[in-house]
């Protein structure tokens, strides 16, 4: 039965080629394999150093990759179409063990699992490792891959009911975001300190090597050092962790079948105790009039913070990715450039597909005869409600953290110019390349290429302005360059919104076609 389910998983992946396109299917596997090989090369190079610091970074990579597998079901609760739905399997007379083993074997047949195995098996290519060490590296890679898949699927089954609820989904995304930020900050603050202290690095290596993911990563060099007892003990730790994950998985499936995780139905009094206003309070002070712009802004805020799980992901992950990109630039390129990068990254997460969460609601919008230009403006205003304060707060926060308070005014100017550029590119991309965020229609590879092209354009312009500012700094101040950039960004944003809105009003059928199932 396990082999049957594994074949079913493979058939689902092959069958998905017709829906996602061969290029997307091949690109997914190619990126996973290339990423796995690159990670494996890093593991091999670090293990070849034969130092405590090298072992530390290897184990840290194992632990972080394991954490990504564990956080994945929480940070991305929307199921993929090529996964086997456990709810469907409940209709067949299969035991819990058959379901778990079948789904586990099917989960191993995926690009993510293949990349994980190639990364974990990097010790095979390390210089100076004997045959026993290479065999141990392969065994550790197999155990690590199975551990990651088992834990990921177990958490997905355990949290399935909670993630089906909007509040539970939003809370899970926020928690996972905090964990991601914590890991990022920890890696950038602790790793340099440990690298400077060999004894501290050795202590952390010992602690990490006794955790399940660290034990799998340490298996090769522990056995290579002749510590057979330590190798067997760490193998036992990984096997126990896998068994525990499978047990939790089986219990979660059993509870789901028995209905033990069903939510209590809200009483009529509780359900009707508080009605949500059509216009969110945050828009009450904004003079938009009682027209399509106000309606579209209110609707977009509902999508972003209440109805669409993917929208919540973008809202939360945008600042996280922005901080990661900008934080690496503060000390090297200065706070203004870092603030511009933050603004562009956050703008890309919220502006490149403004109609993406409407779904089939686009048909209703078009049928009402409302001005699509007004709808576009409303969606931009709604996105600004959270985007502008977040960019300002992150810019000020980076300035305080880096101790460059004098650069904050110039950085805010740079962030404003970059954010207006993101508005211009986002308005154009939303008109030129609209698609359903939940169920894209058409060739996904083409949609993705256009999306990445729009993001690359914004990034390229910011880097170009940064280079121009550095090149002209002997004769022109940074403030003067940024003021010119701000004026050009304002003109570009106004032009993009007006031209895009006029085009939508003239060709509403194009927008409707992008959301019509084919």
What pLDDT, in 10s, does the model give residues 213-232? 999 988 887 887 778 888 89
CA 302 and chain centroid, separation = 21
Contacting residues for 60 by C-beta, under 8 A, at least 6 apart: 187, 191, 208
Contacting residues for 98 by C-beta, under 8 A, at least 6 apart: 1, 2
* Highest mean pLDDT (candidates 46-50, 162-166, 237-241): 237-241
> Between these two residues, 124 and 444, which has the higher pLDDT value?
124
Can you tell me whether residue 98 is helix, strand or coil? helix
Q: What secondary structure does DSSP assign to 32-64, as a single string?
A: HHHHHHHHHHHHHHHHHT-SHHHHHHHHHHHHH
The pLDDT-based confidence of 491 (bands split at 50, 70, 90) is: very high
Nearest to 136 by CA among 227, 200, 61, 259: 227
d(CA 306, CA 309): 8
pLDDT at residue 28, as a whole number: 73
Give the domain ranges of the chain: 1-12+22-258, 282-514
pLDDT at residue 276, as a whole number: 44
pLDDT at residue 441, as a whole number: 63
Give the position of tokens 């006029």. Answer: 502
CB 461 within 8 A of CB 40: no
pLDDT at residue 496, as a whole number: 94
Token duo for residue 339: 């603030």
Average pLDDT in the chain: 77
Of the listed ranges 413-427, 467-481, 484-498, the least confidently predicted one is 467-481
* Highest mean pLDDT (candidates 119-133, 147-161, 189-203, 483-497): 483-497
CA 379 and chain centroid, separation = 23
Neighbours of 2 (CB within 10 A): 16
What is the rounded average pLDDT of the residues 447-464? 84
Q: What sections of 275-352 are H helices per DSSP?
A: 292-302, 309-327, 330-333, 335-351
Of the listed ranges 48-52, 143-147, 287-291, the least confidently predicted one is 287-291
Residue count of the chain, please give it.
518
d(CA 141, CA 14): 26
Token duo for residue 6: 């594994």
d(CA 505, CA 55): 60
Token duo for residue 93: 């007379």
Nearest to 174 by CA among 313, 79, 342: 313
Ramachandran category for residue 394: left, alpha or beta (phi over 0 → left; psi -120 to 50 → alpha): alpha
The pLDDT-based confidence of 90 (bands split at 50, 70, 90) is: low
Can you tell me whether residue 123 is helix, strand or coil? helix
Neighbours of 360 (CB within 10 A): 11
Give the position of tokens 């190639």. Answer: 118
Does 420 score more than 80 pLDDT? yes
The pLDDT-based confidence of 194 (bands split at 50, 70, 90) is: low
CB 132 within 8 A of CB 224: yes
pLDDT at residue 198, as a whole number: 55
The pLDDT-based confidence of 409 (bands split at 50, 70, 90) is: very high
Q: What sections of 76-197 are H helices per DSSP?
A: 86-89, 96-108, 111-120, 131-158, 160-163, 166-196
Residues 73, 25, 71: CA angle, nearest 5 degrees? 15
Does 404 score more than 60 pLDDT? yes
Contacting residues for 313 by C-beta, under 8 A, at least 6 apart: 75, 76, 173
Does 449 score more than 60 pLDDT? yes
d(CA 303, CA 312): 8
pLDDT at residue 166, as a whole number: 55
pLDDT at residue 83, as a whole number: 47
Does 508 score more than 80 pLDDT? yes
The pLDDT-based confidence of 239 (bands split at 50, 70, 90) is: very high
d(CA 390, CA 388): 5
CA 349 and chain centroid, separation = 10
d(CA 196, CA 343): 34
**Percent of the chain scoring above 70 in pLDDT:** 71
């Amino acid at each position: 039965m396990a082999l049957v389910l594994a074949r079913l998983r493979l058939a689902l992946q092959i069958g998905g080629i017709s829906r996602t396109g061969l290029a997307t299917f091949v690109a997914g596997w190619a990126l996973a394999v290339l990423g796995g090989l690159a990670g494996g090369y890093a593991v091999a190079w670090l293990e070849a150093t034969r130092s405590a610091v090298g072992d530390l970074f290897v184990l840290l990579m194992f632990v972080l990759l394991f954490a990504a597998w564990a956080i994945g079901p929480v940070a991305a609760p929307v199921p993929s179409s090529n996964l086997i739905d456990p709810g469907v399997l409940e209709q067949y007379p299969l035991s819990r063990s058959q379901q778990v083993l079948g789904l586990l074997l099917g989960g191993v047949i995926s690009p993510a699992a293949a990349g994980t195995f190639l990364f974990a098996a990097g010790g095979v290519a390390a210089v100076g490792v004997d045959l026993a060490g290479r065999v141990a590296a392969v065994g550790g890679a197999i155990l690590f891959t199975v551990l990651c898949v088992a834990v990921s699927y177990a958490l997905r089954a355990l949290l399935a009911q909670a993630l089906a609820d909007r509040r539970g989904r939003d809370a899970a995304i926020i928690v996972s975001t905090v964990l991601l930020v914590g890991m990022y900050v920890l890696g950038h603050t602790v790793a340099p300190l440990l690298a400077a202290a060999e004894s501290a690095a050795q202590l952390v290596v010992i602690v990490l090597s006794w955790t399940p993911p660290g034990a799998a990563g340490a298996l090769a060099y522990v056995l290579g050092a002749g510590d057979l007892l330590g190798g067997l003990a760490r193998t036992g730790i990984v096997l126990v962790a896998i068994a525990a994950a499978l047990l939790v998985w089986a219990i979660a499936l059993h509870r789901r079948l028995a209905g033990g995780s069903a939510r209590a139905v809200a009483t009529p009094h509780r359900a009707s105790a508080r009605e949500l206003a059509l216009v969110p309070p945050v828009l009450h002070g904004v003079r938009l009039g009682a027209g399509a712009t106000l309606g579209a802004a209110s609707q977009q805020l509902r999508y972003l913070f209440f109805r669409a799980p993917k929208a919540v992901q973008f809202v939360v992950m945008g600042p996280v990715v922005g901080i990661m990109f900008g934080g690496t630039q503060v000390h090297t390129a200065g706070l203004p450039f870092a603030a511009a990068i933050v603004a562009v990254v956050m703008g890309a997460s919220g502006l490149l597909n403004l109609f993406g969460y409407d779904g089939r609601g686009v048909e209703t919008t078009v049928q009402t005869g409302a001005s699509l230009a007004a709808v576009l403006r409303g969606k931009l205003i709604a996105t600004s409600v959270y985007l502008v304060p977040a960019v300002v707060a992150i810019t000020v926060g980076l300035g305080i953290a880096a101790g460059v308070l004098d650069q904050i005014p110039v950085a805010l100017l740079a962030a404003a110019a970059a954010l207006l550029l993101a508005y211009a590119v986002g308005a154009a991309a939303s008109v030129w390349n609209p698609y359903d965020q939940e169920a894209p229609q058409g060739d996904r590879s083409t949609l993705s290429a256009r999306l990445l092209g729009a993001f690359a354009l914004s990034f390229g312009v910011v880097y170009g302005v940064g280079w121009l500012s550095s090149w002209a700094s002997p004769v022109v101040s940074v403030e003067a360059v940024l003021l010119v950039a701000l004026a050009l960004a304002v003109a570009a944003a106004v032009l993009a919104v007006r031209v895009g809105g006029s085009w939508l009003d003239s060709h509403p059928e194009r927008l409707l076609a992008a959301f019509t199932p084919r």
